[in-house]
Structure 1
Amino acid sequence: MSERKIIINSEKLETRVALLNDGKLEDYQVERKNKVNVLDSIFLGKVVNIQQSLEAVFIDIGMDKNAFMHFSDMIPATYDQANLRESEQNNPRKFVKLEDIPSKFPIGSTLFVQVTKGSIGTKGPRVTSNIAMPGRFLVLLPFSDHIGISRKIEDRKERERLKKLILKLPIPKGMGLICRTNAEDKKGIFFKREFNMLLEKWNTAENARKESQRPRMLYQEPSLLEKSIRDFLTEDICEVVVDDHNEFNQLKDFINKAAGKGLSSKIRLHSKAMPIFEYYKVEEQLAKILERKVSLPSGGYICIDETEALIAIDVNTGSSHGSRNNAEIILDTNLEAADEIARQLRLRNIGGQVVIDFIDMSSPFHNDVVLKRMRKNLKNDKAKTHVLPISLFGLMQMTRQREQQSLLDRVYDPCPYCRGTGKVKSPLSTSVEIQRHLKEILKRKSYDKNLSVRVVMNPTVLARLKNEDNCFLMELEDRYGKALSFRAEPSLHIEEFKIVDPSNGESFF
């Protein structure tokens, strides 16, 4: 049986949570404490713009950027919030039409919304009016009377038992509940306790709305610390280790209230001198997460490139070899890649469109084997995924739900030197550009017999000019009979240069 652990590193500026399976990093989350967590939080929003062509509205939620909400994300909760007649509320779906939404919620209307996707780049958050408040065992649905059981609970008798326990709860009219996977085999007392807690949180949000109609946050999703325990701490977790004494006590109290003393006994305080992520060998694994190249066990490797439009992943055999035939080696390498890609997508928290260039396989059966392995690996991913079969070009296309910035974007800023491209002009390219400008200036100023020109540039470019390109500069001097001088300036970008008059420092262009 595998040994699963949750390792928590809590510091002044950030909290990091790692899920280990036999020492191997399986999930990783980081939260910066100086940033407001908006994902899954509930806001009072005000409609500020309606775009019929997009079938969407833009909503002021009190943040820098307006939120985006598609008409489909307003159904059926829209009708509950619009205070329709009682007869219509009994069967809201029957009366729901997309074209009715603008008339029910004109500009200036206010409504409850929940953030389903945080701000990414220049885009504001995406929201829905179909609110869901998750707990450890239950999810409260304030605007839906749906009662459901997690599909991952497959035992028929257990599903019936859970449904009976939920129906015994005093659920207010018009509200619903979903039973999460963690609820399996749990007693009804846990559901009653958590239901009351979730209902109290919702009532607090509703009362806050009555105080003011100003767009603002009404309920904030718990911190990463609490969410990790809520979502990850299951019976198969052998221990939770945290390195902060206050967080240790907080976790103990939270687990005692939510799940009982049985699970709270798994909480451990890391008191050793060695940092917790180093002690559990998490740090060395994290160092490899954001590398472009990821090695595979057999000697192959994958390359991961994040772009604005999509995520491109290339699979290579590398040093893979053996006594078996080539087709078997390629299949095994692709299967290893499928395992690692699913893990990397989760660890790096990358989503959107993903294109995977597997090594070409001649057998349709092998293509199908890789597809099934990929879908199996993604089955337990919290983000929604959709995978297409491998195409004739050997490409697998898939999508992964993107709720917030990727780990790369959260940890790194774009390089100010290369402006995020990862590339700069070569010294040769800059040298050619300098020579082109010099030739133009010397031709334009050929009438000035006293003309002298100074070029200031990065030392690397100057080294190129004085060595490989020296003959071209001497040719320019001989042809135009002008004095040229060159100076190195380390503070200049490798792509930058100045062509000035040394007598007064004025630029020629």
Structure 2
Amino acid sequence: MREIYIEKRNDLRRIAIKEVNILTECFIEEETFEPIPGEIYKGIIKNIVPGIKSAFVDIGHKNNAYMSLSESELKILKKGSEVLVEVVKEELNGKGAKVIKTFSIPGKYVVLETANTKRVFSRKIKNQEVIKTLKEVIKTPEGIGITFRTNSQFAKHEDIQEEIDRLYKEYERIVRDFKYSIRPCKLFGESSIIYKVLRDNINSKTSKIIVDSKEDYEICKEYLKEINTVDLEFYGEARTLFDFYGIEKEILSLRNNKVNLKCGGYIIIEKTEAMYVIDVNSGKHVTGRNIEKTAEETNVEAAKEIARQVKLRNLAGIIVVDFIDMKKKESKECVIKALNSSFIGDRNKSKIFDFTELNLIQISRMRKGKSIYEHIEEECPLCKGHGKRLKLSYIYLLIKNEILKSNVEGKIKDFHIEINEEYKEAVNGNMFEFIKEIGALDLNIYLNFKDFSEYYKVEALLFNNQIDNVKEYLVKVIEKY
């Protein structure tokens, strides 16, 4: 069964999805007030660059968005032209968001689209009788495209029709507001990724949603008001929800480039400047006498795990996979089939290419949102950006969780904390922020920095002799404030 965990802390929302207790997807959303994919804007073209067939568009944010243009659009559009656009990629490294001139409005059962005027059905709807019935019964507006989502095959026809009518009214409102708005502005956009996650993941397989903020609890409660098959729970403890349910540990493990397989093999995930490279190794899975069969079994399991890791880490762009060599065409087809089936339902469009002559498989995956690394890692100042380390803010969160785990009843007042010395300058530069972020303003913190392989250690001090051993590291009251 599927379980959804929604954690909201300050300006960061994290959503984890587990299938049969296995983490399958993780969404991280920062409240940056920057344009996000799915939002629709009225924009004004500020500049056109024919050489790269692009236009830069003012959509009301600090950085202008950019939009690719066709040959005909280059002739029609001019500086100052008003355009109705949808954000498809968020801002990155000072570069504005990417926008397109078509847009879509998603619903639970259908998606209304301006890119075409066709009726399209999800690939997961296999029953041709269902498709035939939907075509005959459901009325769709002229001049607009409708994509029937997987959920539509299980929905009442009147519910689908009602949603289409509602989405079309929203479409008319967007077009009307575009026409009468004077300045660039946002015309449509859900305030949080939570709506998309609920829309895409609430079905007969979903058993439970656990939420730790009142705001998100009310959103889920409203969404589930006509659904009685999903349990909604509120988590109100001080310890973070992700830490309590062991999800934090799983997220941290995503920093490892090695992932072990149940069969005894393993995969290695490496990032280069141009792409991600994944290597499949047989490891301990070498007991079988049939080398071809062993390679096939390892590769099939690796294919499924690769798809899971790509989605969890939100890897995008070009991904090259070096599978264990196989000779038979049938074996290769099994691996391709396993990859394709494992990517079904992926929120990012992906394409899998056949084996090359060198036994490599290429995967292209559209970029949506940041990778998991961008949320929990930062450039290491000691190696001038050539390496990555855990974000200091993330370490503060992990330390706070350790303190809360040790101090459930609130009776322990003394803690010894060791932090890797590479963070010494940053922590000492703002000691108050450190003490505040780890929730220790009313505690005695004994802090020192150490050259070790770990990022931090937290020890609860229960006895006087423990305190005496570290008393020289006590953070003074004046440093706290």
Distance, in Å, in 2 between the alignment partners of 1:356 and 1:143 is 33
- 1:283 and 2:248 aligned: yes
**Cα distance in 1, alignment partners of residues 49 and 363 from structure 2:** 29
2:477 is aligned to: none
**Which residue of 1 is the match for residue 325 of structure 2?**
360
Q: What is residue 483 of structure 1 aligned with on the other side?
A: none
CA distance in 2: counterparts of 1:10 and 1:336, whole angstroms: 34
Q: What are the within-5 Å matches in structure 2 for residues 174-185 of structure 1?
A: 174-185=143-154
Residue 195 of structure 1: CA displacement? 3.1
Conserved 8 A contact 1:37-1:220: no
SS in 2 for 1:153: coil
- After superposition, give the CA deviation of every residue in 1:286-305 in whole Å (9 maximum; x if it has no partner): 22122221111122221212
Where do residues 137-286 of structure 1 align in structure 2 (5 Å cutoff)?
137-142=109-114, 144-167=116-139, 171=141, 173-256=142-225, 260-263=226-229, 265-271=230-236, 275-286=240-251
C-alpha displacement of 1:366: 2.7
Alpha-carbon distance, 1:15 to partner: 1.5
Please, which of 87, 104, 119 is the counterpart of residue 91 of structure 2?
119
2:85 counterpart letter in structure 1: V
Residues 290 and 193 of structure 1: is their aligned pair in 2 closer, same or farther, counting only changes over 3 Å? farther
The offset of 1:132, in angstroms, is: 0.6
Amino acid at match of 1:315: V
Q: Matched residues in 1 for 2:170 and 2:255: separation? A: 38
Match of 1:385 in 2: 350
Residues in 2 aligned to 1:140 and 1:131: alpha-carbon distance in whole angstroms: 9
Query: Could you say what secondary structure the match of 2:154 adopts?
Result: coil
State the match for 1:40 in structure 2: 38
Per the TM alignment, residue 232 of structure 1 is displaced from its structure 2 partner at its CA by: 0.9
Asked if 2 retains the 8 angstrom alpha-carbon contact of 1:44 and 1:213, the reply is no
What amino acid is the match of 1:117? K
Shift of 1:369: 2.5
Gaps of 5+ in 1: 72-97, 424-489, 491-509
Q: Do residues 400 (structure 1) and 400 (structure 2) align? A: no
Structure 1 runs (4+) deviating above 6 angstroms are: none
Change (3 A) 1:354 1:142: closer
Rg bigger for which structure?
A: 1
Deviation at 1:210, TM superposition (A): 4.3
Q: Which residue is 1:324 aligned to?
A: 289
Q: Deviations over 1:201-250 (max 9, x none)?
A: 33443344345332232222341222111111111112222223342222
What are the Cα deviations for residues 332-367 of structure 1, in whole angstroms up to 9, with x where unaligned? Answer: 222221111111110111111111122223444433
Q: Alpha carbons of 1:318 and 1:143: their partners in 2 closer, same or farther (altered >3 Å)?
A: closer
Give the aligned partner of residue 59 of structure 2.
61
RMSD, aligned α-carbons? 2.7
Where do 1:103-114 residues align within 5 Å?
103-114=75-86
CA contact (8 A) 2:288 2:294 kept: no
SS at match of 2:228: helix
User: Is the contact between residue 37 and residue 221 of structure 1 (CA under 8 Å) also seen in structure 2?
Assistant: no
Separation in 2, partners of 1:6, 1:291: 24
SS at match of 1:100: helix
Q: How many residues align?
A: 391
Counterparts of 1:56 and 1:37, CA distance in 2: 19
The 1:128–1:203 alpha-carbon spacing in structure 2 relative to 1, beyond 3 Å, is: same
Distance 1:34 1:327, change over 3 A: same
Select the residue among 303, 320, 336 that pairs with 1:371. Answer: 336
Give the conservation status (yes or no) of the 8 Å contact 1:357–1:394.
yes
Q: 1-side partners of 2:297 and 2:121: how far apart?
A: 38
Instruction: Supply the distance in 1 between the matched residues of 2:328 and 2:145 (Cα, whole angstroms).
Output: 49
Tell me the alpha carbon deviations over residues 77-111 of structure 1, each in whole angstroms, 9 at most, x when there is no partner. xxxxxxxxxxxxxxxxxxxxx54323322121011
| Amino acid in the other structure paired with 1:49 | N
Partner of 1:51: 49
Q: TM-score, normalised by structure 2?
A: 0.74
Between the aligned partners of 2:119 and 2:299, the Cα distance in structure 1 is 41
Q: Could you report, residue by residue, the CA deviation over 1:45-64 in whole angstroms, capped at 9, with x for unpaired residues?
A: 12223333433333222233
Which residues of structure 2 form unaligned runs of 5+? 389-448, 450-481
* CA distance in structure 1 between the partners assigned to 2:165 and 2:113 by the alignment: 13
1:142 Cα shift? 4.7
Contact 2:35 2:97 survives alignment (8 Å): no
> How far is 1:155 from its partner?
1.4
The answer on whether the counterparts of 1:119 and 1:404 sit within 8 Å (CA) in structure 2 is no
What displacement does 1:6 show? Answer: 1.4
| Partner amino acid, structure 1, of 2:144 | M
Q: For 1:299-314, list aligned pairs within 5 A.
A: 299-314=264-279
SS of 1:377 mapped into structure 2: helix
Shift of 1:279: 4.1
Tell whether the 8 Å contact from 2:34 to 2:91 is kept in structure 1 after alignment: no
Shift of 1:153: 1.4
Q: CA distance change for structure 1 residues 234 and 222 in 2, over 3 Å: closer, same or farther? A: farther
Partner of 1:436: none
**Residue 227 of structure 1: SS of its match in structure 2?**
helix
Task: Determine the C-alpha separation between the residues in 1 that align with 2:188 and 2:109.
Answer: 19
Residues 176, 388 of structure 1: alpha-carbon distance in 2 compared, 3 angstrom cutoff: closer
SS at match of 1:178: strand
Distance 2:288 2:227 in 1: 55
Structure 2 Cα separation of the partners of residues 366 and 292 of structure 1:
26
- Give the letter for the 1:41 counterpart: E
TM-score (norm 1): 0.70
Aligned equivalent of 1:333, options 295, 298, 304: 298
Distance 1:411 1:239 in 2: 27
The answer to whether the 8 A contact 1:143-1:174 is kept is: no
Query: Which residue type is aligned with residue 219 of structure 1?
Result: F
CA contact (8 A) 1:38 1:221 kept: no
Q: Which deviations, in whole Å up to 9, do the C-alpha atoms of 1:251-310 show, x marking residues without a partner?
A: 111232xxx2435x5323335676432443322222212222111112222121223311
- Deviation of 1:165 after TM superposition, in Å, equals 3.8
1:318 Cα deviation after fit: 2.6
Shift in Å, 1:121: 3.4
Residue type matched to 1:337 in 2?
Answer: A
Supply the AA of the counterpart residue of 1:242.
V
CA shift at 1:410, angstroms? 2.8
- Any idea what the Cα deviations from partners look like across 1:150-201, whole Å, max 9, x if unmatched? 232121221122223431x6x3x53342221111121133224433443443
User: Which residue pairs with 2:427 in the alignment?
Assistant: none
Q: Is the contact between residue 379 and residue 387 of structure 2 (CA under 8 Å) also seen in structure 1?
A: no
**SS state at 1:58 partner:** strand
AA at the equivalent of 1:109: S
